[in-house]
Amino acid sequence: MLSTLNLVSSLLSGVALLMIGAGGLSTILAFRMGEADYPAIIVGLVTSLYFIGIVMGTRACHHIISTVGHIRAFAALGSLMSAATLAHAITPDPFVWGFLRFIVGFATVGMFMCTESWLNEKSSNEIRGQVFSLYQVVLYLGQGAGQFLINVPDETGALLYILTSVLMSLAILPVVLTRVAAPTLPKPTRFKIGRLWGISPTGMTTSMLSGVIMGAFYGVGALFAEQSGLDKNQTAQFMGAVIIGGLILQYPIGKMSDKYDRRLIILGVAIGTALICMALINHGRANGIGLLVLSAMFGGFSFTLYPLAVAYTNDFLTPEDLVPASGGLIVSYGVGAASGPLIASLVMDAFGAGGLFGFVGCVSIILAVFIAFRITQRETPDIEDAGDFQPMQNTSAVIYEIHPEGEEDEEEPELPTAEKL
């Protein structure tokens, strides 16, 4: 038990450093491109390539890890991410930055796969729920803290890239120095998209449109702040408030879906997101507590859509299909996240900074209309047979192995340490 806690704590410390660096970098790049007066479509293209890298890396990184092992793969991918981050200082060319963002996205998903494999294999059924929850908290807090890196004075223009690269490099250490034997990477399993659509059109659509919303926010949220006249500190507060709001409000909103038809909760969240977007369009240029409250509410509602999609889909799956079906949800989310920044940036070029939340509001309305239609097409599932809602981020397919819904009844054997091998 003590060895498990030591491993989990060391892995989570590495995850925290990774999220601080990676979370800060995306905001820094979008804000700086805004300061350089790049068209929003260029910013959207650069950030879309990051999400494309994540989608492309999902299967490729599985092959890399299976071939060379977790530790070597984690070290190689971490080094690649760190080098790509430093390379941003060489040139401000947005097309070069787009290529570098693709590399960072590719490496990020691979590093998540390695970390989550370890967490999964070392988490017994008794502590799986606690490990999963703690992991999600670390993801959000690290990402939120990373937003404030933009406040670090950087007269040379290279210091922030150096700083984020150092954080990413330090994130490698807890894994490469572990004495615990490498975990078993779950084999990729095929679950046809058509079959998943037949099981839960609501889950797939909510997942994809959640990706559109999240991709748009992470991709051009900092650009919205810069174009709205917010300074660096205000931008950090705005981005951080959205992320922390997503952490705080996910659980109470999600738990309501355990008691009522999840579709009604998704419908309410979609409508709420649309209303908050309308308020942000009108008050996006405001400074102070009002903007932070609206930002936190936006994060609390919008960040809940993806885990609601997962929970609702799981209600119609057998335990054996939970992990395989996750691949379809990840693909649908990834397609949405890759397209979100591009479309949102086009709207911003046409209508100004407020176009971001105008676009997100429209996507939310489309989701609400679809959910309302689906409610008329399918009976309410039995609440007593439904699983429990779990707050979560979309990181890699391995996260579904840790998900408490995927617990096995039998007790997991203790893994041997390097000393016992």
What average pLDDT does the segment 225-231 reach?
Answer: 91
Say yes or no to pLDDT of 85 above 80.
yes
- Based on C-alpha coordinates, what's the Rg of the chain? 21
The pLDDT of residue 415: 42
Q: How confident is the model at residue 214 (pLDDT cuts 50, 70, 90)?
A: very high
Q: Answer whether residue 3 shows pLDDT above 60.
A: no
Q: Which residues of 335-358 are buried (b: 16+ CB within 10 A; e: fewer)?
A: bbbbbbbbbbbbbbeeebbbbbbb
The pLDDT, as a whole number, for residue 36 is 92
Would you place residue 376 in the very low, low, confident or very high pLDDT band (cuts 50, 70, 90)?
A: confident
Q: What is the pLDDT of residue 72?
A: 87
pLDDT tens for 35-63 read 999 999 999 999 999 999 998 988 888 88
Q: How confident is the model at residue 387 (pLDDT cuts 50, 70, 90)?
A: low
φ, ψ for residue 237, nearest 5 deg: -65, -40
pLDDT at position 2 over 60: no
* Confidence tier at 400 by pLDDT (50, 70, 90): low
Cβ–Cβ < 8 Å for 247, 141:
yes
Whether the pLDDT of residue 114 is over 50: the answer is: yes
Domain boundaries, the chain: 2-180+191-408
What is the reported pLDDT for 412?
43
C-alpha 270/C-alpha 66 separation (Å) is 40
Q: What is the pLDDT of residue 162?
A: 95
Shortest CA distance to 80 belongs to which of 53, 50, 103? 103
Average pLDDT of the segment spanning 393-405:
60
pLDDT at 370: 95
Name the pTM for this structure. Answer: 0.87
Per the prediction, the chain carries an average pLDDT of 84
- The three-point CA angle 106-62-398 to 5° equals 90
**160-169, 194-203, 267-276, 278-287: lowest mean pLDDT where?**
278-287
Query: Is the per-residue pLDDT at 253 higher than 90?
Result: no
Mean pLDDT lowest for which of 116-120, 148-152, 323-327, 352-356? 323-327
- Flag the least confident range among 70-74, 284-288, 346-350: 284-288
- 187 pLDDT higher than 50: yes
d(CA 92, CA 313): 43
Q: How many helices (H) and strands (E) does the chain have?
A: 15, 0
Question: CA neighbours within 13 Å on the CB side: how many for 25?
Answer: 32
Classify domain 2-180+191-408 at the CATH class level.
Answer: mainly alpha
**For residues 295 and 385, is the Cβ–Cβ distance under 8 A?**
no
